[in-house]
Amino acid sequence: MINEALAAPPALLTGDWALFLDIDGTLLEHADHPDAVSVSAELRSLLQDLERKLDGALAVVTGRSVAAVDHLFRPLKLRAAGLYGLEHRLTPDDAVEAAGEPADIAALADEIEAELGHGQAHIERKGRVLAIHTRAAPHLLPRATELVERALATLPKGYRVVPGNAGVELLPLEAAKGAAIRRFMSIAPFAGRRPVFLGDDTPDENGFEAVNDAGGISIRIRPMAKTAAQYGLVGVGETLEWLRSQL
């Protein structure tokens, strides 16, 4: 059930602000497979218009890789933090600061794929991040979580398990959306602005906390549980309507 305790965000933001956006569940409805989503021309146009209004102070902050973001939104290229901040592109023309896949994570991915990959769970290998999506097979989530939590004892220190709405991820400790947002806020055109962050899932909570600490505005989409976000929106449709209202 949607947490109705959160008020809707301000109808119109004023002053100088910077916009940070999660993608899946925020700009796009979730799908059983991460590749089964598409971006409309209308959404691309909306993001371009917002970026123009904000003089470039717009970035996506996502668990997807930057390469996956580019593929999804092409030909549009956005400022982006991928893999929860393990990858960055600080301006649209920059090269991507990328992250490779360590051998121990690759071996773990192979092991989990061998057990769960034929049961409609999707194992997504994202460099140092390993994601197991169970939206198409919810009954596999407990086993997926068990496998990832058990693997923590065999991996080098510095990893954590992050449960999500329909899956589980294994992340390095430094993979945090809040850190990615703070990095953008330290450079032009973001510096000196008020940060606004929209997200929908557990990994976004760290971003909400960072934005709150900076005196910004945090908005959770479909807030079904306890959250650090100050405001809530019911779903993707309402989120897009709210973004359009800021133009």
Closest CA to 204 of 58, 72, 23, 59: 23
Contact (Cβ atoms closer than 8 angstroms) between residue 170 and residue 148: yes
Q: Which among 16, 22, 93, 104 is annotated as catalytic?
A: 22
- Strand spans (E) along 73-215: 79-82, 87-89, 122-126, 129-133, 159-164, 167-172, 194-199
- Of 15, 34, 222, 17, the C-alpha closest to 129 is 34
Alpha carbons 71 and 42: distance in angstroms, whole number:
17
Please indicate whether residue 22 is annotated as part of the active site: yes
| Cβ neighbours of residue 29 closer than 8 Å, sequence gap 6 or more | 37, 236
Residue 162: HSE in the Cβ half-sphere, 13 Å Cα cutoff:
22
Q: Which residues are catalytic?
A: 22
